[in-house]
């Protein structure tokens, strides 16, 4: 089965999870929520999943459309308050955090504050929130964009909301990785086989290395089956704008 923009993002977000990690998905993070639930079903290693609604290892009867819906805490043996997971992250207790962004640059810095000048913005965005606390303190941070354009993947941010331990960026076309310990820029790791490296270069606002990039491996049977169960009737993929 060919990749769709929806499946490429969800599965490759899930592939960032490692065995034994404590993983967190935040507000307005439906795709990472699905990625974590997919990993629970498709991967043969344990990890702990905490979500912004407070659920720890949730087992929802039906996956909600919103990552903040109380339904996502169903079946949780414990509930985290908002201040608890911020405190956990600040103490180095979160291994992987999914945080969204409006803009991102090659160094993994993000903007969720304003498009245009701060004094007279074209768009006023929600602001730092979790990014300001979690991007510098989580061991690894992964972000995503449902579009892949020079407006979102930029050479220079309109405003630097946060910087720190960003390790991966997933789009419908590509997966970029970087090593924050070395202060490195993003490099192209894998790409959607339905596109080309040249197209990705054209559609990315920052420069990046791509000499070692490879086509993404196809979905495994487990990944495909888990995604079909989570997206019953196409509830999520039908509304996805890639």
122/182 Cα distance (integer angstroms)? 34
DSSP 81: -
Q: What is the pLDDT of residues 7-63, one digit of tens each?
A: 999 999 999 999 999 999 988 889 999 999 999 999 999 999 999 888 899 888 888
String of DSSP letters for 171-182: -SSEEEE--GGG
CATH of the domain at 33: 3.40.1080.10
pLDDT at 241: 64
Residue 242 belongs to some domain of the structure = no
Q: How many domains does the chain have?
A: 1
Residue 93 belongs to some domain of the structure = yes
pLDDT at 242: 56
DSSP 71: G
166/164 Cα distance (integer angstroms)? 6
String of DSSP letters for 112-158: -SEEE-SSSEEEE---STHHHHHHHHSSEEEEE-SS--TTTB-SS-S
- Per the CB < 8 A criterion, the answer to whether 211 and 193 are in contact is no
Residue 238 belongs to some domain of the structure = no
35/39 Cα distance (integer angstroms)? 6
pLDDT at 1: 60
Q: What is the pLDDT of residues 168-213, one digit of tens each?
A: 999 999 999 999 988 899 999 999 999 999 999 999 999 999 999 9
Range of the domain at 154: 5-233
- Dmax (CA) of the chain: 51
pTM: 0.94
Q: What is the pLDDT of residues 133-172, one digit of tens each?
A: 999 999 999 999 999 999 999 999 999 999 999 999 999 9
pLDDT at 151: 96
Chain centroid to CA 101 = 9
Residue 226 belongs to some domain of the structure = yes
As a whole number, mean pLDDT of residues 84-89 equals 92
Residue 33 belongs to some domain of the structure = yes
Two structure tokens written together for 8: 């490429």
């Amino acid at each position: 089965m060919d990749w769709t923009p929806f499946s490429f993002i969800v599965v490759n977000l899930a592939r960032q999870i490692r065995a034994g990690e404590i993983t967190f998905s935040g507000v307005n993070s439906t795709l990472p929520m699905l990625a974590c639930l997919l990993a629970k079903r498709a991967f043969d290693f344990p990890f702990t999943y905490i979500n912004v609604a407070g659920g720890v290892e949730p087992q929802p009867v039906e996956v909600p459309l919103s990552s903040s819906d109380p339904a996502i805490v169903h079946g949780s043996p414990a509930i985290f308050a908002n201040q608890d997971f911020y405190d956990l992250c600040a103490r180095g207790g979160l291994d992987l955090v999914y945080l969204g962004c409006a803009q991102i640059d090659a160094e993994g810095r993000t903007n969720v504050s304003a498009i245009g000048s701060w004094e007279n913005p074209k768009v006023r965005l929600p602001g730092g929130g979790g990014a300001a606390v979690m991007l510098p303190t989580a061991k690894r941070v992964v972000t995503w964009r449902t579009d892949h354009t020079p407006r979102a993947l930029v050479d220079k941010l309109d405003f630097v909301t946060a910087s720190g331990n960003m390790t991966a960026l997933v789009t419908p076309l590509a997966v970029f990785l970087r090593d924050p310990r070395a202060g490195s820029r993003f490099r192209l790791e894998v790409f959607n086989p339905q596109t080309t490296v040249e197209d990705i270069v054209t559609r990315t606002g920052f420069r990046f290395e791509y000499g070692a990039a490879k086509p993404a491996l196809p979905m495994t049977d487990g990944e495909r089956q888990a995604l079909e169960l989570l997206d019953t009737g196409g509830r999520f993929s039908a509304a996805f704008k890639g």
